[in-house]
Structure 1
Amino acid sequence: MTPRRLPRSASADDLLTTLGLLTAQARQGAEEQRARVDLAEALQREMLPETLPSLPGLRTAARYAPARDGLDIGGDWYDGFVMPDGSLGFSIGDVQGHDVEAAAFMGQIRIGLRAVALAATDPGEVLGRANDLLVSVGRDLFATCTFLRFDPTTWVLESARAGHVPAVWGTADGWCEAAQDPGGLPLGIEPGEAYPVTTRRLTQGGAFVLLTDGVIEGPAVPIEAGLARVTRVVAAGTGADADVLAAEVMKAAEFTGHTDDAAVLVLCHDAAPAGPAGGAG
């Protein structure tokens, strides 16, 4: 005798209907999130420069990688441009937040730094003016940043940083370290903030590597450990092609879990030329 199927209760039907609606809403939410991530990534890549300035004796390269999970994107940037006095300006930074708003804010900061650099060449002054500009806008976001100025006449590299992770500097003789230079608060927090400038004359060949915290920090990787890894990579790769070194440094992000987007900016330099062009040292 075949057992008779009992009719489902109304409550069971309601439950299935509710589950179906929740599934549809979840799918729609995931699609909307994916669309936001795609938009943020498109904004990010469109706002990054297509090329970086270089000159004889100075070779530059950069890399950008979105977060592996596709959710944390939009805040990191790098830039390079020729300043009015003929020196080269470089910046790298990280906007608080990971969404379309952060990507748009990143673009505003890049443009703001370039605009300020039309009237100021000192990196500390560039960051100070950019900071005051961002504070005056009244946004809730802030950004860490390092700004460099390379003088092709004196072969001097000046740098200032606003709450950003240290750069890594290595020279041809095998010496390499994280550049723990003094700095100020991130941009957009307090008006009137001062940013001290560190000056280096490039008397021998080497590489100066800027990066964002996505390269060296992750859920199980403290910044110190990630920075030590990058320092070893730069020490081993000093003297290599700038593109090769940038790619090798970016690989360090794989060890962090890659939960944040990441950017790398590499300046490979020869020794200061002898004679008047290289200055007196």
Structure 2
Amino acid sequence: MSRTSPADDGDELLNRLGTLTAQARAQAAVQRSRVELALALQRGMLPRDLPIAHGVRLAVRYAPAYQGLNVGGDWYDAFLMPDGRIGLSIGDVQGHNIEAAAFMGQVRVGLRALASVSSEPGELLSRTNDLLLSLGSALFATCTFLCLDPATGVLESARAGHLPCVWATADGRAGITDDEGGPPLGISRGMVYPVTRYRLTTGGVFVLLTDGVVEGPSMTLDEGLEQAVRLAGVAAVARMDADALAAAVIKGAERVGHDDDAAVLVIGHDGVQATQP
């Protein structure tokens, strides 16, 4: 009976390890390419420019997930509507892959297209919800859509399963919005999305964000929202630039140890005196 020598056994083990290592590297390269493609797709669908209006200050920030496999479907958007108001949206698509990034593009484009038909946020979300269902995707998205009148500072808001907004006034008050909202987009037809009206005070801010900014392994959602409220309150009192506030809020994603995308949209208004939201 022939027996293999220890040297032969060692060579066979090294060969197997080499094969497994090569396979692992190849799989890692494929996954890395998918992540890079999803990230490029997502960034390419975000708006390059923000609308400009007298007295309105807008700023945005986006950070991909720190865990490389979790690039997905967070987005923000801001555009001029046919009636002269500014449409603003932020949202988060279920999943973390190329399909989620592509679905995010469909949601964003759908909102923009339907805004030319309806400028009422609740109806706009209802129409977008039905449109997404007609596409037959199994994905869904949470979203907040607001219409801002630059002349008056009035904000009309509707939410589809998304986080509440953070607000702050120049006299030091701050909190989160309290509205009814409706279910995420893409789950069931015929959904109704109630509209809530707010008014931005002079020097006040509204902050829209996704859960990657305020929720993670190191911080609960309530703790993260409290952190964002404190930042907004300080920024409003100090008359901090909207861009600086957006940068400060997105830094919160590092403190929560997020493993999700993170997006922030800050809205400020300097042109009208009014009461708090």
TM-score by length of 2: 0.93
- How far apart are the structure 2 equivalents of 1:36 and 1:10? 39
SS in 1 for 2:159: strand
Give the stretch that moved more between structures: 117-126 or 151-160: 151-160
- How far apart are the structure 2 equivalents of 1:156 and 1:169? 13
Distance change (3 Å), C-alpha of 1:68 and 1:145: same
Contact 1:169 / 1:176 at 8 angstroms: preserved in 2? yes
SS in 1 for 2:180: coil
Q: 2:240 corresponds to which letter in structure 1?
A: A
Contact 1:202 / 1:271 at 8 angstroms: preserved in 2? no
Q: Match of 1:251? A: 251
Q: 1:106 corresponds to which letter in structure 2?
A: M
- How far apart are the structure 2 equivalents of 1:153 and 1:27? 57
Q: Match of 1:61? A: 59
- The runs of 5 or more residues in structure 1 that have no matched partner are 1-5
2:197 is matched with which residue: 199, 222, 245? 199
- 1:54 CA drift (Å): 2.7
Does residue 46 (structure 1) correspond to residue 66 (structure 2)? The answer is: no
Q: 1:80 corresponds to which letter in structure 2?
A: A
Q: Match of 2:98? A: 100
- 1:98 CA drift (Å): 0.8
Moved over 6 A (4+): none
Contact 1:60 / 1:266 at 8 angstroms: preserved in 2? yes
Q: Match of 2:68? A: 70
- 1:219 CA drift (Å): 1.8
2:174 is matched with which residue: 176, 179, 187? 176
Distance change (3 Å), C-alpha of 1:16 and 1:203: closer
Distance change (3 Å), C-alpha of 1:172 and 1:22: same
- The runs of 5 or more residues in structure 2 that have no matched partner are none
- How far apart are the structure 2 equivalents of 1:103 and 1:203? 35
2:14 is matched with which residue: 13, 16, 39? 16
Aligned residues: 269
TM-score by length of 1: 0.92
- How far apart are the structure 2 equivalents of 1:218 and 1:186? 21
- How far apart are the structure 1 equivalents of 2:92 and 2:69? 16
Q: Match of 1:138? A: 136
Does residue 269 (structure 1) correspond to residue 269 (structure 2)? The answer is: yes
- How far apart are the structure 2 equivalents of 1:199 and 1:50? 28
- How far apart are the structure 2 equivalents of 1:196 and 1:41? 33
- How far apart are the structure 2 equivalents of 1:54 and 1:174? 27
- How far apart are the structure 2 equivalents of 1:192 and 1:78? 25
Q: Match of 1:163? A: 161
- 1:49 CA drift (Å): 0.5
Can you list the C-alpha shifts for 1:56-93, whole angstroms capped at 9, x where unaligned?
11110100001112221121000010111111100000
Name the Cα RMSD after superposition: 1.6
- 1:256 CA drift (Å): 1.0
- 1:270 CA drift (Å): 2.0
- How far apart are the structure 2 equivalents of 1:10 and 1:101? 48
Can you list the C-alpha shifts for 1:135-159, whole angstroms capped at 9, x where unaligned?
1111111100000001234431000
Contact 2:66 / 2:259 at 8 angstroms: preserved in 1? yes
